[in-house]
Amino acid sequence: MHADTSPAQFWENRYTDSDGLWSGNANASLVDAVSGLAPGTALDLGCGEGADTIWLARGGWDATGVDISRTAVRRATDAARAAGLPVDRIRFAAADLATWREDSSYDLVAASFLHSPVEFPRTDVLRHAAGLVAPRGHLVIVSHAAFPPWAGADAHEGHGDHRFPSPQEEVEALDLEPGSWEVRIAETRARDAIGPDGTQVVLDDTVVVLRRL
C-alpha cells in the first residue's frame, strides 16, 4: 500500500523515477474524439507530461494542462516550448484536482486516463470538470476499461478489488442535469498497444464524449 505517501508525493516519485513516464504521443481515443471539433479553449485534467495538451495546442486549441506533479508539469512545459508552441497558446499548472477549483469555462474539458492508485476523489473531480464545460462545449473522458495484462500487484495496490466503471456507469456517476447534455459516445473501444516487454496487445478503453446543450 502507499498509505504513508501523499498523492502529490506518490506521483512526484513516479515521475522522478523515470526520465519520461509516457510515450509523448497523444492518446488515440482523445484524438479520435476531438478531431472533428472546432478548436476553442481546452482544459486537460491530469495532463502528465503534456502530450494531449500539446496535441490540442498544435490543432489550434488554446490549451491548459493541470497535473499534481511538478516534474510532469515542468516536462510538459519544456515539451511545449521544444515544439515551438507560443506561451499564449498553451500553459500548464501544478495543482491537486481534489481541491483545485476553477471559475473559467472551456469549450473542451478532457481527462485521459485520470486514474490513481492513491487517494483520488475521481467522481468529484469529474463532476467539477463537467461544470467547467461551456454551452455547446464537450467533455471527453478516456479511461482504462480494465488493468492492462502486464499490470502486476503494484498496479492494483490501493485499488483493492477495484472494478473500472462501464461507459454507462461513468456517465451516470457525473449526475448531469437532465436535458442539459447530449451523450455522443459512451462505449468501450479496443486499441492496439505495445506492452513493456515489446509485445503487441489490444487494450480496451472506456470512451465518453458528452456535449453540453
Q: List contacts with ligand SAM (CB under 6 A).
A: 7, 11, 22, 27, 46-48, 51-52, 67-69, 72, 96-98, 112-116, 120
What is the nearest approach in angstroms of ligand SAM to the Cβ of residue 120?
Answer: 5
Of 23 and 168, which has the nearer Cβ to ligand SAM? 23
What is the nearest approach in angstroms of ligand SAM to the Cβ of residue 17?
Answer: 13
Question: Measured between alpha carbons, how far is residue 92 from residues 5, 66, 75, 210 in Å?
Answer: 24, 6, 10, 24
What is the nearest approach in angstroms of ligand SAM to the Cβ of residue 118?
Answer: 7
CB 36 within 8 A of CB 140: no
Backbone angles phi, psi at 73, to 5 degrees: -65, -40
Of 143 and 179, which has the nearer Cβ to ligand SAM? 143
Cell of 134: 461551456
What is the nearest approach in angstroms of ligand SAM to the Cβ of residue 81?
Answer: 19
Of 152 and 179, which has the nearer Cβ to ligand SAM? 152
What is the nearest approach in angstroms of ligand SAM to the Cβ of residue 113?
Answer: 4
Of 160 and 178, which has the nearer Cβ to ligand SAM? 160
Burial class (CB in 10 A: 0-12, 13-18, 19+), 2: middle
Which DSSP symbol is given to 213? -
Of 28 and 173, which has the nearer Cβ to ligand SAM? 28
Length of the chain in terms of residues written? 213
Single-letter amino acid, residue 34: V
What is the nearest approach in angstroms of ligand SAM to the Cβ of residue 134?
Answer: 21
Question: Measured between alpha carbons, how far is residue 116 from residues 1, 72, 135, 186 in Å?
Answer: 13, 15, 29, 22
CB 71 within 8 A of CB 12: yes
Work out the widest C-alpha separation in the chain, in whole angstroms: 47
Of 90 and 97, which has the nearer Cβ to ligand SAM? 97
